[in-house]
């Protein structure tokens, strides 16, 4: 056996155990920041270096293309160009590659289209119309989601009725599901879910194919195993069944994708599935401070469903976590912006060191407006993807037809884009004929003279078919993809129409198309076999995380879901209010509080050095200002490591959601509240702590001074408000208070007769 490589000495004891384990199933329980990526890459390099397997006999599955690229680069640094032969990528990319090779065995061609959610929704919308349903009443998105759930549970159309039909919507879904599956096959297309379930069908129906890939992949490694759904669980177990060299890496505390079908039981029950499996916990955290880890541990221990592990670190204690108590979402955005500018100036952080994490995408709007106004650069992860823009999808639809003209969904998208005189009546007649004859629309267009449509429309169809066939021939003859694309844009009249429109919006669309040309050109220059099919597959599998640019000098804004796997020196977790984080009503039993708590745990463990929690006392919803109740998670986090902006402990009530106390939001009324009047004669001193640009002034005992930034106060004339800044000392102490409906008021504390509403 070859000598162990030097890189093995870079690992701690548990990491070495995981890397050296080479035979049989292995469960690596990798806590946040514990170096799981290093363990995975070193394990793969070790298997190859120790000649346990050739590179092409190892299958490594990840959940983002970014993770796969980074891992392959690291392995290449360890063992050289052998790493290029690895089968490594996301579930969807790896199995779509297998399906390209084996498509004919299940009735498809190797150039099948991949439908994203928008394409799938459009196909379902067309089917609903054909079946006499109004898409405004029966939402295609809802039907699509139900079909997707069924697919991921491996429930086929003919069994859907037995499982789910309890309502009219179930009945409609069952009907549409069967037609949709047939339509996809007719269009030579698969949706994202098919990329996982079609391999299962392939392996079930063709044992020789299953055996071929079982022998090919002697070692299988899966990252983020806690996020696998039933289909992913099934297909990997099929492949691993022969050699049983299945290594799964994950953290049950970071299982946050149940809405996508992820099943935490896959990792919790791994030892039941493989009784001989070895379990190795990775508990040393290399990312965060002790304070941040203590906060994370105090949160996650409230969950009942979890594997035993305790994170620890050799890092220092670090700074305590600061809780920002805001009046509303605009106040929240302003104060987060001020903290970012202050930390950047005082501690030398770059904008790229900051992340703002929120529960839902709509929360970004107020931050975007505030940051633009204050001149803070930012990048938004999870907004509209470049490849989802209308003009880009139009051009991609044209390109798709060059390799898969039977794709009705993409054909319908661009057959009259730009307008070429094929009216809705003619198009409806042509589509009806296609359905009657059980053919694709393209086959009808090829013989349009037999379809008996309006003569001008017939001539336009013939010109369209001739154009597509000419471009197909150019592609087949070996012309460069970028040149074929440019010719397509010219012959179709698409670019000309945008130029003639001559509006700012049209010019922006034109610029996006030029950027698409850049992407195609780059793809051709950087791939050994730059086929159109490969390009379309690559861009169809891009995720939000893949679009994140960690080198961009900008504050990152994203949902907590999108932030998984990333890390930042400074993190702000905002919107920590009931009904927002955790999401849903606090009285709604359907809300999975344990998953919401895992999501909060993920948010906490993204932070390396400093962490801020932020909540609002009111927030606009449905056009009205609504009182908000602070998130229960702020009552669960260890009081040892969280402080208010003044440095005092936060008041916690760990039982307010246990049914032991009245859960009424006491902040919505003054009844029963204790009011504290300001006494300027108490001794004060300056601790030189700063929040934004304001010096914080404190009582000798900070807990005794209630008139601090963030305090809710009441004035005899202006009514209720909130202190947003404070300056001066002694009888010269001033506060700026924001009063609802009255705006900001600067008041001298000794004469203002303010009362703190406790």
pLDDT tens-digit readout, 155-170: 999 888 777 667 788 8
Does residue 542 or residue 135 have the better pLDDT? 135
375 in a known ligand binding site: no
Catalytic hit among 15, 62, 232, 254: 254
- Catalytic choice (183, 433, 510, 606): 606
- Site of tokens 């013939």: 462
Q: Residues 709-750: pLDDT tens digits?
A: 778 888 877 778 888 888 877 767 888 888 776 677 888 887
The CATH architecture annotation of domain 387-514 reads Orthogonal Bundle (1.10)
Same fold, 6-104+196-284 and 321-384+547-585+593-644: yes
Tell whether residue 103 is among the known ligand binding residues.
Answer: no
Active-site annotation holder among 57, 111, 223, 609: 223
Is 201 known to be catalytic? no
Q: How confident is the model at residue 359 (pLDDT cuts 50, 70, 90)?
A: very high
Residue 348 in marked binding region: no
Using only C-alpha atoms, what is the Rg of the chain? 30
Q: Is 224 a catalytic residue?
A: yes
For residue 5, give Cα distances in angstroms to 49, 169, 339, 679.
7, 60, 47, 70
Active-site residue, 37 included: yes
**Domains of the chain, residue spans:** 6-104+196-284, 113-187, 321-384+547-585+593-644, 387-514, 711-756
Task: Find out whether 32 is annotated in a ligand binding site.
Answer: yes
Neighbours of 417 (CB within 10 A): 17
CA distances from 708 to 645, 672, 726 (A): 8, 22, 7
Choosing from 36, 433, 510, 628, the catalytic residue is 36
Residue 18 counted as an annotated binding residue: no
User: Model-level pTM?
Assistant: 0.75
Domain 321-384+547-585+593-644 has CATH 3.65.10.10: no
Q: Are 488 and 468 in contact (CB under 8 A)?
A: no
What letters, b where the CB count within 10 A reaches 16 and e where it falls short, cover 277-302? Answer: bbebbbbbbebbbbbbbbbbbbbbeb
Tokens 């076999």, located at residue:
529
**Residue 33 is assigned to a ligand binding site:** yes
Percentages helix, strand, coil for the chain, rounded to the nearest 5?
50, 15, 35
511 is an active site residue:
no
> Which residue in the list 4, 17, 20, 37 is annotated as catalytic?
37
- What average pLDDT does range 180-192 have in this prediction? 95
Whether residue 24 is annotated as binding a ligand: the answer is: no
At residue 453, the pLDDT reads: 80
Task: Please check if 674 is assigned to a binding site.
Answer: no
Q: Residue 695: is it exposed, middle or buried by C-beta count within 10 angstroms (0-12/13-18/19+)?
A: middle
Q: Quick check: 699 and 682 in contact, CB under 8 A?
A: yes
Q: What are the pLDDT digits (tens) for 328-337?
A: 999 999 999 9
Catalytic residue status for 472: no
pLDDT in tens, 270-305: 999 999 999 999 999 999 999 999 999 999 999 987
Rounded-to-integer distance, Cα 164 and Cα 178, Å: 14
pLDDT over 80 at 385, yes or no: no
In the predicted model, is pLDDT for residue 186 greater than 70?
A: yes
- CATH code reported for the domain at 113-187: 1.10.10.160
168 catalytic residue (yes or no)? no
pLDDT over 50 (residue 95): yes
Taken in order 535, 536, 542, 548, the sign of the CA dihedral is positive
Residue of 191, 194, 224, 577 marked catalytic:
224
Q: Spelled out in words, what is the top-level CATH class assigned to the domain 6-104+196-284?
A: alpha beta
Q: What is the pLDDT of residue 754?
A: 83
């Amino acid at each position: 056996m070859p000598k162990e490589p030097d890189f093995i000495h870079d690992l701690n004891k548990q990491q070495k155990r995981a890397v050296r384990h080479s035979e049989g199933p292995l469960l690596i329980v990798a806590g946040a920041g514990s170096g799981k990526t290093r363990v995975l890459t070193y394990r793969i390099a070790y298997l190859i270096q120790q000649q346990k397997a050739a590179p092409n006999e190892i299958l490594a599955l990840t959940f983002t293309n970014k993770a796969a690229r980074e891992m392959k680069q690291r392995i290449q640094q360890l063992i050289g160009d052998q790493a290029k032969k690895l089968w490594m990528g996301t579930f969807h990319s790896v199995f779509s590659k297998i399906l390209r090779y084996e498509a004919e065995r299940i009735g498809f061609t190797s150039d099948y289209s991949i439908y994203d959610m928008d394409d799938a929704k459009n196909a379902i919308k067309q089917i609903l119309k054909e079946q006499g349903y109004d898409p405004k009443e029966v939402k295609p998105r809802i039907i699509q989601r139900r079909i997707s759930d069924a697919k991921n549970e491996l429930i086929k159309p003919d069994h859907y009725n037995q499982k789910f039909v309890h309502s009219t919507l179930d009945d409609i879904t069952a009907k549409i599901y069967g037609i949709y599956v047939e339509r996809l096959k007719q269009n030579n297309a698969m949706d994202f879910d098919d990329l996982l379930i079609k391999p299962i069908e392939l392996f079930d129906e063709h044992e020789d194919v299953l055996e071929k890939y079982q022998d090919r992949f002697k070692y299988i490694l899966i990252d983020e195993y806690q996020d696998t759904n039933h289909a992913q669980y099934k297909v990997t177990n099929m492949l691993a069944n022969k050699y049983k060299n299945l290594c799964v890496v994950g953290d049950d505390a970071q299982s946050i994708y149940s809405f996508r079908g992820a099943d935490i039981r896959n990792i919790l029950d791994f030892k039941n599935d493989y009784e001989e499996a070895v379990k190795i916990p990775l508990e040393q955290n290399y990312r965060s401070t002790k304070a941040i880890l203590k906060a994370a541990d105090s949160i996650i221990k409230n969950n009942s469903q979890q594997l035993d592990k305790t994170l620890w670190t050799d890092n220092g204690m670090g700074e305590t976590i600061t809780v920002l108590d805001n009046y509303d979402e605009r106040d929240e955005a302003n104060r987060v912006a001020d903290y970012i500018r202050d930390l950047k100036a005082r501690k030398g952080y770059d904008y790229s060191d900051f992340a703002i994490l929120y529960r839902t995408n709509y929360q970004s709007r107020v931050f975007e407006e505030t940051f633009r106004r204050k001149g803070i650069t930012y990048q938004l992860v999870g907004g509209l993807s470049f490849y989802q823009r209308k003009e880009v999808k139009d051009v991609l639809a044209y390109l798709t037809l060059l390799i898969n003209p039977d794709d009705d969904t993409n054909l319908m998208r661009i057959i009259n884009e730009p307008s070429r005189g094929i009216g809705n009546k003619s198009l409806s007649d042509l589509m009806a004929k296609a359905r009657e004859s059980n053919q694709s629309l393209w086959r009808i267009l090829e013989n349009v003279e037999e379809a008996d449509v309006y003569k001008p429309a017939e001539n336009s169809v013939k010109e369209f078919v001739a154009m597509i066939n000419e471009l197909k021939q150019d592609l087949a003859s070996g012309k460069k993809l970028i040149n074929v694309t440019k010719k397509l844009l010219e012959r179709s009249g698409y670019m000309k129409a945008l130029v003639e429109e001559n509006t700012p919006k049209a010019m922006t669309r034109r610029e996006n198309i030029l950027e698409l040309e850049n992407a195609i050109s780059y793809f051709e220059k950087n791939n050994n076999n730059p086929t159109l099919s490969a390009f379309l597959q690559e861009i169809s599998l891009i995720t939000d995380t893949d679009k994140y640019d960690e080198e961009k000098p900008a504050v990152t804004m994203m949902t907590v879901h999108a932030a998984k796997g990333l890390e930042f020196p400074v993190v702000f977790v905002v919107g920590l209010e009931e009904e927002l984080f955790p999401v849903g009503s606090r009285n709604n039993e359907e809300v999975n509080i344990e998953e919401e708590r895992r999501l909060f745990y993920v948010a906490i463990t993204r932070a390396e050095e400093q962490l801020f929690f932020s909540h609002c006392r009111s927030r606009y919803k449905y056009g009205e200002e609504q009182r908000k109740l602070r998130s229960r998670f702020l009552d669960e986090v260890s009081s040892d490591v969280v402080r208010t902006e003044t440095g005092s402990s936060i008041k916690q009530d760990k039982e307010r959601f246990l049914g032991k106390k009245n859960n009424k939001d006491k902040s919505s009324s003054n009844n029963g509240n204790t009011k504290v009047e300001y006494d300027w004669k108490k001794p004060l001193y300056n601790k030189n702590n700063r929040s934004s640009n304001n010096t914080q002034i404190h009582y000798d005992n900070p807990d005794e001074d209630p008139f601090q930034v963030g305090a809710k106060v009441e004035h005899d004339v202006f009514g209720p408000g909130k202190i947003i800044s404070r300056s001066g000392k002694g009888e010269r102490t001033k506060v700026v208070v924001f009063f609802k409906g009255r705006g900001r008021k600067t008041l001298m504390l000794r004469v203002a007769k303010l009362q703190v509403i406790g």
